[in-house]
């Protein structure tokens, strides 16, 4: 019975890894990490325009736009439009980073349970 529960838990983890793949890929890139840190440091309320992000990160405008698109597609970064201007931000309520947190909690729980069994 115990092995069945292990298999179920591992299947859930495998599904969570698949579900998180786009997020892991998006935040795994150092350039995107730099953009994320810039957005986090700026605060999430108003957001930042591409030009502001370019100034802070010293990256080219096309580079910033390219990486923002990837972060947006992965639902890590959100955008709101005011007229013709786009403002990028991280919404603490609506982003895919929580998927990673859930997955990491499940990994930790699984490892912890098996560590206890092996020691005991």
- 23-71, pLDDT tens digit by residue? 999 999 999 999 999 999 987 678 999 999 999 999 999 999 999 999 9
**What count of other Cβ atoms lies within 10 Å of the Cβ of residue 115?**
10
What does the pLDDT average to over 72-80? 94
The b/e string for 50-63 (b: 16+ C-beta within 10 A; e otherwise) is bebbbebbebeeee
Specify the pLDDT at position 18.
93
Sorting pLDDT into bands at 50, 70 and 90, what band is 3? Answer: low
Of 17 and 43, more confident: 17
Rounded Cα–Cα distance for residues 69 and 80 (Å):
13
pLDDT at 119: 62
120/55: higher pLDDT: 55
pLDDT for 116: 65
Average pLDDT (59-86) is: 96
Residue 1: pLDDT above 50?
no
Angstrom CA distances, 95 to 3, 4, 84, stand at: 34, 33, 23
Q: The tokens of 27 are what? A: 């935040």
Cβ partners under 8 Å of residue 81, min gap 6: 87
């Amino acid at each position: 019975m115990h092995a069945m529960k292990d298999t179920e838990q591992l299947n859930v983890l495998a599904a969570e890894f698949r579900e998180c793949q786009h997020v892991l890929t998006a935040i795994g890139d150092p350039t995107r990490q730099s953009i994320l840190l810039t957005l986090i440091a700026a605060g999430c309320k108003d957001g930042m325009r591409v030009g502001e992000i370019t100034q802070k990160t010293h990256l080219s405008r096309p580079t910033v736009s390219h990486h923002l698109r990837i972060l947006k597609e992965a639902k890590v970064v959100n955008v709101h439009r005011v007229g013709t201007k786009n403002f990028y931000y991280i919404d603490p309520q609506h982003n895919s980073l929580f998927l990673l947190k859930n997955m990491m909690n499940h990994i930790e729980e699984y490892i912890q349970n098996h560590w206890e069994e092996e020691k005991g």
